[in-house]
Structure 1
Amino acid sequence: MRLLYSGKTKDVYEDGPYLIFHFKDTVLGRKGKEDSGGNEVVGEKTGKGSVVLKQTEFFFKLLEENGIKTHFVERIDERKARFLKAERIPLEVIYRELAYGSFLRRYRGWVRQFHPLGIVEFTLKDDFLDDPLIAEDAVVALGIASGEDIEKMKETTRKVAKILREFFSLKGLQLVDFKLEFGRLDGELLIIDELSGDTMRVAKDERFLTREELLEVIG
């Protein structure tokens, strides 16, 4: 295996037609505090990488069972998993069921916490620029993705939202928001990277579930 990338939360290795992700115990946040929407490493939690991988395996399999294609192949051990090698699109696609986090900071005074939204946003995946919000027309103009790609990503993201909303609703929980990444494989778009407590917020009575509590929910 050849190390392709050592990131803040995972190391990525090339293994023939596959990628091997090694999930780290690092925790992200902003201004020294843990925040799933943050881009800086603020500490470590023993076992966190294993928790995130178990959640990613569960949610990617849930999506596959409902007709949403992902690049997940199999879990290798507690910290490593095999994925199909896809061409990453440098965007984060954010679904906001309710207003929270950066949306509140961006539009403070215009929206209250947990206001219903049901919207899809795009940010440019660039840590140096702190993942800025990007207009759909700019995505096309910069050659990042086509207009057709954008519509497909939005459509798929809304399908994922419906799947997650129904799953959590049956357990008395409220989906707040989540983010996805997409890649291309053989000309087809599919969901890549991860889907876990690091990339979604779920609440009960307006209190967010911890990663560990989310793990208990999925069994």
Structure 2
Amino acid sequence: MSKIKVILVDDHKLFRDGLKSLLLSNRDIEVVGEFGNAKDLIKQINQFESEIVITDISMPGMNGIELTQYLNREFANIKTIILSMHINKDFILSAMEVGAKAYLPKDIAGKELIEAIYEVNQGREYFNTLVSNIIMRSLMKKNQDNKRQGELTNRETEVLILVANGLMNKEIADKLNISVRTVDCHKNNIMSKLKLNTTAELVKYAIRNHIIEL
């Protein structure tokens, strides 16, 4: 069985060295590269064969969320795990939105990180109990907000936000991994529930109700 090839990106060398030592103690994992910032990785990424990038969020230049977004767009075969001291809703949801496959606190036990690597390598997402609870609370609040927004479903709210931000149906379909026809269906449902007639009215509704910011 071939090893899982991992790249580390963190601006703290001492932490990076400890992480590398931990991963190299596992016979299934190979650390093929390490970088102190995202831009250096991007310059050299074509030199590596890797399945997973483990990155911090706070780094000079490009942060970990921006790096995740770049990798998800340009290298769909590379999966990203964010390992951060920032455990709050905004960072977690932003990471999920740009395609992170796992989000973990830096103070987790080594065996949990190894487990996350295995899960992500198999094409699954991994969020531990702490992060999952934060996500769940956010979804519950979102559901409550949806009720105030004409009983929109979670998916309809996602489509509403993307339409209001100027994305075309094809772009929305690609981003949400659904068909263009499904996007049209969601838009029609949104218009019906909110009693709106045009996309312009939908955008005004989103701005007026602080669903998007100008």
What TM-score does the superposition give when structure 1 sets the normalisation length? 0.28
Larger RCO (CA within 8 A; separation ≥ 6): 1
CA radius of gyration, larger in: 2
Structure 1 or 2: larger strand share?
Answer: 1
